[in-house]
Amino acid sequence: MNRFATSLLVGSCVLFGGTAAVTVPPLLQMPAVAQQGSNLGPPTAPDAVNALSDRFEAISRQILPAVVSVEAVKPGKLVPGSIAKTKPVEESGSGVIVQLPNQKGYFVLTNNHVVSQAPPEQITLHLSDSRIFKAKRVWTDPESDVAVLGIDPPGQVPTALMGDSDQARVGQWVLAFGSPFGLNQTVTHGIISARERGQVSLGSTIRIKDFLQTDAAINPGSSGGPLVDMKGTVIGINTAIASHSGSNSGVAFSIPINLAKRVAKELLEKGSVARGYLGLQVTSSFEPADAFKLGLDRVQGAWVERVYDGTPAAAAGLKVNDVVLQVDGIAIRTENHLINLISTMPPGQRIRLHVWRDRNVVTLEGTVGDWAKAQTRFGP
């Protein structure tokens, strides 16, 4: 992202001087009448403000008991040129306790980057009532950055309900929960700023990018915490921020819960996530000038910049400078939309592609390949 460093949200906090002083400004006074020329009507009535405040409080009481802080101790890595390993790496994050369809017991949804490479016995979970316990089993999917922890907690534990992220609307209120800077049981509020964000650079392992963007305050240590709607259901798993400083700048990203649920289902049922691929490389910088040059009247679709030999893309007849407009009747919005859509398709599925080529629409047919067998060689 231009001018921003996009960071995964692991970390810890050190408070210098023993005590952190916080200055709280006085409440702003609402004007008695609407400003001249405003068409928004009179200021919000106090009872409506109180109702919203009550709703925030009720959701916080409901969700916080199901939010856990996660501490993972990962093995040290070999130092180049030395036979010695570095010290073990300690990372902290967050998670949320859920129950999954057709599965017995309790599970914690979090991020792969929080717990990856840490054995279950080195992953400690802290509940809101001060209970602590270890993970029993770990399933991870680096490509979506989703991780599932199997747990056997002492006694009953509260769970959060998972919602439908496909129904998330830009502008709706949301609450973000987690352990920023090691401050457990933190809740912040904001709105959904955008959907289907894929222009986020998070390293080579995270390939599936379809984030909800929010301006709720999210900071290092919040990774894996839930993003919750006003129904009190989890619609996202907080993952990353875009920031100059590495701290909250009002641009944060969450994995849609529908994606997390699908990944969790496959991890628990099959042990891994099956993904389709075509074997082509699409550009991440499709600009209006490029669209005009190609004869398109809008910046839409996935612009092909490379087709790998011996792949489903090559077999289907795709060429460099093609723009993939549709797959099985689904209009392709961006390059990440194409990557995410193909990845959800089972290997072997037949598909029909509508492609913009030489200022005309061309129809091609192909077969989705198996990404697990080809990921060491090819792109999306």
The pTM (predicted TM-score) of the whole model is 0.81
d(CA 339, CA 209): 9
Cβ-count burial 341-351 (b if 16+ within 10 Å, e if not):
bbbebebeeeb
Q: Which of 145, 210, 215, 322 is catalytic?
A: 145
Q: Which of 223, 243, 254, 343 is catalytic?
A: 223
Write out the chain's pLDDT in tens, 380 residues: 444 445 566 553 333 233 333 333 333 333 333 344 445 555 556 788 888 999 999 999 999 999 999 999 998 776 666 666 678 888 999 999 999 999 999 999 999 999 999 999 999 999 999 999 999 999 999 999 999 999 998 888 999 999 999 999 999 999 999 999 989 999 999 999 999 887 666 655 677 778 999 999 999 999 999 999 999 999 999 998 887 777 778 899 999 999 999 999 999 999 999 899 999 999 988 999 999 999 999 999 999 999 999 999 999 999 999 999 999 999 999 898 999 899 989 999 999 999 999 999 999 999 999 988 876 665 44
Element (H, E) at 32: none
d(CA 169, CA 166): 8
Looking at residue 94, its amino acid is S
d(CA 12, CA 221): 6
Element (H, E) at 313: helix 312-316
Q: Which CATH number does the domain 1-9+48-272 belong to among 2.120.10.90, 2.40.50.1020, 3.30.1340.30, 2.40.10.120?
A: 2.40.10.120
Q: Which CATH number does the domain 276-374 belong to among 1.10.150.120, 3.40.50.300, 1.10.287.80, 2.30.42.10?
A: 2.30.42.10
d(CA 337, CA 328): 14
Do the strands 226-228 and 173-178 form a parallel or antiparallel pair, or are they unpaired? antiparallel
Nearest-5° Cα angle at 169, 102 to 174: 75
Residue 19: Cβ-neighbour burial (10 angstroms; 0-12, 13-18, 19+)? exposed
Domain boundaries, the chain: 1-9+48-272, 276-374
pLDDT at 114: 96
Can 145 be counted among the known catalytic residues? yes
Cβ-count burial 94-113 (b if 16+ within 10 Å, e if not):
bbbbbebeeeeebbbbbbbb
Contact 1, 242 (CB under 8 A): yes
pLDDT at 39: 55
pLDDT at 9: 61
For the record, the structure tokens of 276 come out as 């389709």
Q: Which of 7, 69, 92, 113 is catalytic?
A: 113
d(CA 282, CA 307): 9
Can 223 be counted among the known catalytic residues? yes
pLDDT at 376: 60
Q: Which SS3 state, helix, strand or coil, does residue 17 take?
A: coil
pLDDT at 202: 60
Element (H, E) at 176: strand 173-178
d(CA 260, CA 341): 15
